[in-house]
Amino acid sequence: MSEFAEVLRAWRDRVRPEQVGLPAGPGRRTAGLRREELAALAGVSVDYVVRLEQGRATNPSPQLLGALATALRLSTAERDHLFRVAGAAAPSRLTVPTHVPPGVQRIVDRLGDVPLAVFTAAHDIVLWNELWAALGDDPGRWTGLDRNLVWRHFVHGHEGVEWDETHQEDFSSDLVADLRAAVGRYPADARLADLVARLRRESPEFERRWDSGRIAAHRTSRKVVRTPVGPVEIDCDVLGVPGSDLRIVVYTAVPGSTDAATLDLLRVTGLQELTPG
């Protein structure tokens, strides 16, 4: 058996279902993930997972390897090892990191009472909790560039979200300035360069802000989100993850306010709608 197949099986066996939001259930023959569970988490077929573990599938794509690393809660060192033994180059330090460390995943798992999501330095959403999905559009329905916050903001607009004039200006300006800073940190990232080029073509507003040359980090903002249970005013705080350049975005409402009560109601009704019957 190859090293790739061995570590894939070993890492699958060590991940408990409850660590990835799955019920443990009775009658399990293993404490770890079943093949079908790993397949669902990584977005591949069960047959493909079987072939990987038996050494019959070769040259898995970097996208698949990244999905497996996230599903298996691998550390950065373990992720890099998975890439190398699969015959792929480990992700470059000159490209935007997309791997979500296990500690960050645990934060998302445990903080279910506030809307929370994880973004890359390029503002691609890579992880979110159910309340985040209930608050607005479910990111699970998005593909490609639509998973990028800057693209959605400047190309699709921000239907359902309202700022006062000051916060809207700050939010738009900071997004562009933060993206420009990312270009400086990750000069070899072709996908990031393509994103900026397409934004400059598609959005005159983005182009105007880009031409200012401003560099800054995305800051705290306040906005009103129209939800199925009513509008809710929320504060948006962006927390950095040392060593990975990921951003944890957390929405909160003032305790004891009408907005907090609306968010509590959404936590009940919204999550019921997201849960399959």
Q: Give the residue-averaged pLDDT of 124-145.
A: 87
Are both 268 and 167 inside the same structural domain?
A: yes
Q: Does residue 93 form part of some domain?
A: no
Q: Does residue 71 form part of some domain?
A: yes
pLDDT digits (tens, 9 = 90+) for 71-101: 898 988 899 999 999 988 888 778 898 888 8
Q: Does residue 90 form part of some domain?
A: no
User: Looking at residue 60, which CATH number applies to its domain?
Assistant: 1.10.260.40
What distance in Å separates the CA atoms of residue 180 and residue 188, rounded to the nearest whole number? 14
Are both 165 and 42 inside the same structural domain?
A: no
pLDDT at 47: 92
Q: Does residue 73 form part of some domain?
A: yes
Nearest Cα residue to 187 out of 94, 81, 92: 94
Are both 107 and 80 inside the same structural domain?
A: no
pLDDT digits (tens, 9 = 90+) for 22-60: 776 666 777 788 899 898 888 889 999 999 988 887 788
- Among the ranges given (117-126, 135-144, 200-209, 233-242), the one the predictor scored with the smallest mean pLDDT: 135-144
Are both 30 and 125 inside the same structural domain?
A: no
pLDDT at 152: 92
Are both 52 and 134 inside the same structural domain?
A: no
pLDDT at 169: 79
pLDDT band at 111 (very low <50, low <70, confident <90, very high): confident
Are both 72 and 113 inside the same structural domain?
A: no
Are both 53 and 124 inside the same structural domain?
A: no
Domain boundary at 85, 116, 136, which?
85
Are both 28 and 62 inside the same structural domain?
A: yes
Helix (H) or strand (E) holding 176: helix 165-185
pLDDT digits (tens, 9 = 90+) for 223-264: 888 888 889 999 989 988 887 889 999 999 999 999 999 998
pLDDT at 196: 96
pLDDT at 37: 87
User: Looking at residue 195, which CATH number applies to its domain?
Assistant: 3.30.450.180
Residues 35, 96, 151, CA angle at the centre, nearest 5°? 95
DSSP 124: B
- Among the ranges given (45-54, 111-120, 128-137, 164-173), the one the predictor scored with the smallest mean pLDDT: 164-173
CA distances from 209 to 170, 171, 180, 191, 206 (A): 11, 12, 10, 20, 5
Burial level of 26, CB count in 10 A (0-12/13-18/19+)? exposed
Total domain count for the chain?
Answer: 2
Whole-structure pTM over 0.85, yes or no? no
pLDDT at 276: 47
pLDDT at 68: 92
pLDDT at 274: 47
pLDDT at 122 over 70: yes
Q: Does residue 92 form part of some domain?
A: no
Domain boundary at 29, 58, 85, which?
85
Are both 163 and 235 inside the same structural domain?
A: yes
Average pLDDT value for the chain: 86
What distance in Å separates the CA atoms of residue 141 and residue 157, rounded to the nearest whole number? 17
Are both 131 and 208 inside the same structural domain?
A: yes
Q: Which domain holds residue 80?
A: 3-85
Q: Does residue 91 form part of some domain?
A: no
Are both 75 and 177 inside the same structural domain?
A: no
